Structure 1
Amino acid sequence: MGEREWIHKDKLILRGLQFHGFHGVKDEEKKLGQKFVVDVDAWLDLSTAGETDDLADTVSYTHIYRIVKEVVEGPSQNLLESVAHLIANKTLLKFPQVSAVRVKVEKPHVAVLGVIDYLGIEICRHRKLEKTEPL
């Protein structure tokens, strides 16, 4: 599969996961914490699970939810980029059947002058293809 073909495949979808975390550059963010909202897409082949109706043939949503919870409620990071990177890497490491993951991290309560829904970031990471030696 080419590096970008994963975007058109099956995926698990987790939306609006909310946690209290202590991420940010400002001292107040690290002391008081704030709400973070996370969305995750995890691309993998779901055809076998669709045929067998067996949880063993897929990745449980709750396992990915636990990764997000562990990272967001875990040690403080300065940047949302780091939070998202940790979630993506842990997901790809724990589940070899996941070919790619998209992580969106939102901060809905940011001290800015103006009206906003949230500020945040979104990253996409995919499993690197292993190169084989020519015969």
Structure 2
Amino acid sequence: MENVAIVKGDKLILRGLKFHGYHGVKPEERKLGQKFLVDVDAWLDLHPAGKSDCMSDTVSYTDIYRIVKEVVEGPAHNLLQSVAQLIASTTFTKHPQIFAVRVVVGNVAVPGFVDYLGVEILRYKSVDASN
């Protein structure tokens, strides 16, 4: 999945996270589940960590990975938009130093000649206070 978001600054990058979830509006999607592919960009100031070399001055990739895993493998949502929004809002809640997040959620279990179908959202903490 390509990055088309235009946000300046430092970011953490997570690509190609794959999980089995039960999201969708069709009964078979909720019963059998399907594979989802997720990309996340999380913008924050990485200067302190770059200078200190201390984990306490940044956000761990694994923390964001766990958020994505919990949402995708968690309770079912009808829409991928809702899945992406929950990933973004949870990321902001758990990591207040993150000021923008891009989440792409793709469904890879689609028939035909396609890599995935999905949604991409971009949220800014300062602008979208409701997350």
TM superposition score normalised by structure 2:
0.90
CA distance in 1, matches of 2:108, 2:66: 21
Structure of greater Rg: 1
Q: CA RMSD, aligned part only?
A: 1.1
- Matching residue of 1:15: 15
Counterpart mapping for 1:1-135 below 5 A: 7-111=7-111, 114-128=112-126
CA distance in 1, matches of 2:22, 2:117: 16
Count the aligned residue pairs: 122
In the alignment, the residues of structure 2 paired with residue 128 and residue 9 of structure 1 have an alpha-carbon distance, to the nearest angstrom, of 15
C-alpha displacement of 1:128: 2.1
1:104, CA displacement in angstroms? 0.2
Q: Letter of the aligned partner of 2:107 in structure 1? A: K
The unaligned stretches of length 5 or more in structure 2 are 1-5
Residue identity over aligned pairs, in percent, reads 66
In the alignment, structure 1 segments of 5+ residues that lack a partner are 1-5, 130-135
CA distance in 1, matches of 2:93, 2:41: 15
Task: Report the TM-score when normalising by structure 1.
Answer: 0.88
After TM superposition, which residue ranges in structure 1, 4 or more long, deviate above 3 angstroms?
Answer: none
